[in-house]
Amino acid sequence: MRLLVLGGIRSGKSEAAEALVADSGRVRYVATARESTSDDAWTARIAAHKARRPETWVTEEAGSSPERLAELLTGAKAEDTILVDDLGNWLSAAYDSGGDWSSEAAINALADAVRSCGAGRLVLVGPEVGLGVLPATAAGRAFADASGLLNQRVAAACDGVALVVAGEVSWLRGGPSEATVAPVVAPAAEPAPAVVAEPFVFESKGAGSVLSTADGGDTLSFSTGMELPLPDESTAHEAAERLLTLRLNGAGLGGLVPIVRFAGGVQGRPDPRPFQQPRVLVLRGDRTGGFAAGDSADAADQRLDEVVEGTGTLAMLAATAGASVQAIDCPSAGPAELHDAIDDATVDSALTLGWRLADAAANEGVDVLVLGACGSGSDAAATAIVAVLTGAEPSALLGRVVDSTGFVDDAAWIRKIGAIRDARHRVRARSRDPHVMLSMLGGGDIAVATGIVLGAASRRLPLLIDGPVAIAAALVARDYGAQTRHWLLMPDHGDNPTVKLASDVLGAAPFLSLRLALGEGATALAALPLINTALTIAAATPLRTAAVETPPEGLSEQEHIEAEIQRVVADSPTAEMPYVKPSWED
């Protein structure tokens, strides 16, 4: 857990930060202030801070060696609790030692250290200097600008950010226990008798761990209008602009520029790094009735077994991309053309599981999620949701049905379309509330996927999507919190009509057009090495160094420009070419 506590002078920010680690027996307190022999008031302030620290705390002095802070953070262990007070003193010392207040290198290096810190709990204190008047001196303005940039970079690397005013703590994002954007915890409801949900089973390849809702504690209650974080638009713009300064041999990254821009925003840095810890979440949720025509639970079992056993296309691509894989067996759904697919209690449980899967991934250091699906009838359920939310005709959205032998089954496609139309007619007078949509048409896998989208956005975790289940979940999640779509990246829509329409509605334009149809999640995994290649080029390519020429002495700038133009013309090969009289002038 990485937390940033901001506040003005005498706001109580240090006391608030100390309270966040008060329950830890041993705390490593990193003091960044430099003691002064000539300022008695400053010495007294430092003494007051020391007096508040319990005897069990260990103080690390970094005031005279600002570079030591990054070393302490990167070398921290999981059992460590670290409190850094404060970033303003560190910034002053870092720039005083470096001498260049226009450089962002020290700020970016510290943000990287915070992001990679392995401590069990890290709390950083920083001054919020942007609420006052603009400083009158150049040095004051430089410090205010650098401090604001430092706060942005470190906040992007933290799980929670608090602002302390007059001793009152307001969490802008996250928090010490539950994120403030998380929905309110409500007691688990009793399931309705209409549809009995099967237990969730969460299997991790190799680990043999099982997670079910019986062990998950209280169920979270989700509602519309959730306040979720947004990617850093300023760093996204900086990342795209920075590409123009790279010393490339060609014209640039072309269609891969949106990747760099997206990564710059979600990582909160103008030089985004390749994704090092991807995780694939594969959802299996079966259906009965017309939605499952041409598919079967046995075929879905086989697809899930391939994921768990490490065989098949998706597992092979995951291994190539260095991604961990987790398979989630979601509750089955009833025939949506006859009655609601799942009950309200199951929707709450599924959303909660999805939220906690994303939250657990972020806590384990995962830096990008890939959403996959392999349940029977999931394509029809996704088509039904997209058709209802967009008003599109189902027959124009549902792709061809391919059976387990690889042959196109047109009869199954007709049955699916009939079931989708019947379901849409059944719910025509019902609310389009996202919770109701998941209950009426979605099923367990789309509900879990929706919770994953919401949870990923709350933890500032990017999500790669490429199939109908993920795109339907993204549409529903948008109605819970509109910010979710900004954390989604679509490599390729696979020429799937449902995915194409929904991605257009969400504004999630794919950056590839390969028409890959490898199964949901596999297309994104196939594109992940290309994504990391683009980010590697953007981060590692040196910048161009423009030669700066000063005008010759005695010439104005305009005279120098005119002289330079004459020199270029004179040096041009065409300047010495003889005049050849054309034939028509004879």
**What backbone torsions phi and psi does residue 436 show, to the nearest 5 degrees?**
-65, -40
Note whether 340 and 192 are within 8 A (CB).
no
Note whether 336 and 381 are within 8 A (CB).
yes
Catalytic residue among 178, 241, 520, 564: 520
| Complete DSSP assignment for 23-35 | T-SS-EEEE-PPP
In 73-205 the beta strands, taken as DSSP E runs, fall at 81-85, 121-127, 160-165, 168-173, 185-186, 201-204
For Cα atoms 161, 164, 167, give the angle at the middle one, nearest 5 degrees: 145
DSSP label at residue 481: -
Provide the pairing of β-strand 160-165 with 2-7. Answer: parallel
Strand order of the β-sheet with 2-7 is: 58-61, 28-31, 81-85, 121-127, 2-7, 160-165, 168-173
Provide the pairing of β-strand 121-127 with 185-186. Answer: unpaired
User: Which of 279, 231, 270 has the alpha carbon at shortest distance from 460?
Assistant: 231
Residues linked to residue 254 through DSSP beta bridges, in sequence order:
none
**What backbone torsions phi and psi does residue 124 show, to the nearest 5 degrees?**
-115, 140
* Total residue length of the chain: 586
Q: What SS3 class is residue 531?
A: helix
Q: Active site includes 520?
A: yes
Distance CA 455, CA 383 (A): 24
Q: What SS3 class is residue 544?
A: coil
Provide the pairing of β-strand 185-186 with 160-165. Answer: unpaired
Q: Give the H/E segment covering residue 486.
A: none
Which pair of structure tokens corresponds to residue 78?
A: 């999981």
In 428-534 the beta strands, taken as DSSP E runs, fall at 463-464, 488-489
Q: What positions carry a catalytic annotation?
A: 520
